Amino acid sequence: MSEEKKIPYKIYLNENEMPTRWYNVRSDMKNKPAPLINPGTKEPMGFDDLRPVFCDELIKQELDNDTAYFDIPQKILDFYKMYRPSPLVRAYCLEEALGTPAKIYYKFEGNNTSGSHKLNSAIAQAYYAKEQGLKGLTTETGAGQWGTALSMACAYLGLDLKVFMVKVSYEQKPFRREVMRTYGASVTPSPSMETQIGKKINAEHPGTTGSLGCAISEAVEVATTNEGYRYVLGSVLNQVLLHQSIIGLETKAALDKYGIVPDMIIGCAGGGSNLGGLIAPFMGEKLRGEKDYRIIAVEPASCPSFTRGVYAYDFCDTGMVCPLAKMYTLGSDFIPSANHAGGLRYHGMSPILSQLYADGYMEAVSVEQTSVFEAATKFARTEGILPAPESSHAIKVAMDEALKCKETGEEKTIVFGLTGTGYFDLVAYQKYNDGEMTDYIPTDEDLKKSIANLPPM
């Protein structure tokens, strides 16, 4: 116990202990993730196929299944120093509140203005665009986390940024929009009248409030039809998981510093960017047979791609303009029930994580949102931090596992990813506080219908 107490509430790495390389978990996978394929030709997408859309250096990272480590450029390391290392927190107060012998740690990625881990990849993608001499970037955003992160990165590097924001979010979530504008991004409600696809959709569906798929299509159109612009995406892609490995590398370095070996690592999973980053170095050890860890992906019961989806090639976007990816998917036109307030609403999953799950290296569990907000509230009151609904999926399962330890008396060490803060999710919290939050689980019939729409291969 005195040994125990030497572990501080928050473990910060010193600047000279911070990782200087990203780790590419694909290098240790025997079964590599399936390549992106061209929806027309059904051929794997090569470097030249991807050049009109993505930056050169990022395509190299996307396609490289072999290089184990990529040096992080100095300019990115400098940017990381402004908000990293993020703390690895020992949840002493939560442990006490639960009365568990388990030791709980969480890696908190919310201590930056974008409020989430998304910034780790945003700065990397913006950097390579700048290095390539591009003028600017385009992207889409739903709730706005990714758009905020990217606007911060572009402001830092002096890049232009055009964000297409789903119209309903643009109107109902003006605060995220204003953060992006404060960072100098232009934010356009989608569908707009600035693109061909936007005009077409507005003509066909007058008064539509937009969708993520439509916003992606607009962002891609602007990137491919304007000299000096490229499109960037905040999740799912291999390059994104590579950049996000900084989360796991820091976590591992902090644990190693105190000789802590986790029994299980828990993360929420939407498109997989956080989970893939958090688990990367641990998964590497597991793949190389050096260590064993339980690795648990947590997803919402209302959008259960791992636990109830199929592993197949599918469109990455509802607009069907992007390449096909092989992944656990619910079908590209799957949309979670309107009552779903907890984020993680993507129909698919990172191809890397999909392959690892298919090969049995990870578990997955789904949880219902009222129980997630209950866990979030308990966490907020004991640990102080108001968590994002997405992150709270991991909190819920970490608490469940800690309570199992209470029953068995086992002193397991649990690490989970706290991806962000809930400051911009208070409409959802209000619903919960007012007792008006409900759960919804799609029926087998629902899923059969959306999964039936997979592209023929």
Question: Please, what is the minimum distance in Å from the beta carbon of residue 252 to its own copies?
Answer: 20
Chain centroid offset of residue 360 CA: 21
* For its own copies, the closer CB: 115 or 300: 115
Burial of 272 (0-12, 13-18, 19+ CB in 10 A): buried
The CB-based long-range contact list for 174-183 (8 Å cut-off, 24+ gap) reads: 175/424, 176/141, 176/143, 176/144, 176/145, 176/147, 176/148, 176/424, 177/144, 179/113, 179/144, 179/148, 179/151, 180/141, 180/144, 180/147, 180/148, 180/151, 183/148, 183/151, 183/152, 183/154, 183/155
* For its own copies, the closer CB: 18 or 50: 18
Question: Please, what is the minimum distance in Å from the beta carbon of residue 432 to its own copies?
Answer: 8
* For its own copies, the closer CB: 47 or 423: 423
Question: Please, what is the minimum distance in Å from the beta carbon of residue 313 to its own copies?
Answer: 39
Alpha carbons 28 and 244: distance in angstroms, whole number:
17
Question: Please, what is the minimum distance in Å from the beta carbon of residue 55 to its own copies?
Answer: 22
- Residue 233 · residue 150 · CB < 8 Å: no
- Residues in contact with its own copies by CB under 8 A are 8-10, 12, 14-15, 78-79, 81-83, 89, 92-93, 111-113, 115, 152, 155-156, 174-175, 178-179, 181-184, 377, 380-386, 421, 423-424, 426, 429-430, 433
* For its own copies, the closer CB: 183 or 311: 183
Dihedral angle computed from the Cα positions of residues 396, 399, 400 and 406, in that order, rounded to the nearest 10 degrees: -170
* For its own copies, the closer CB: 9 or 47: 9
* For its own copies, the closer CB: 326 or 396: 396
Question: Please, what is the minimum distance in Å from the beta carbon of residue 164 to its own copies?
Answer: 18
Closest CA to 371 of 404, 398, 405, 336: 398
Question: Please, what is the minimum distance in Å from the beta carbon of residue 423 to its own copies?
Answer: 5
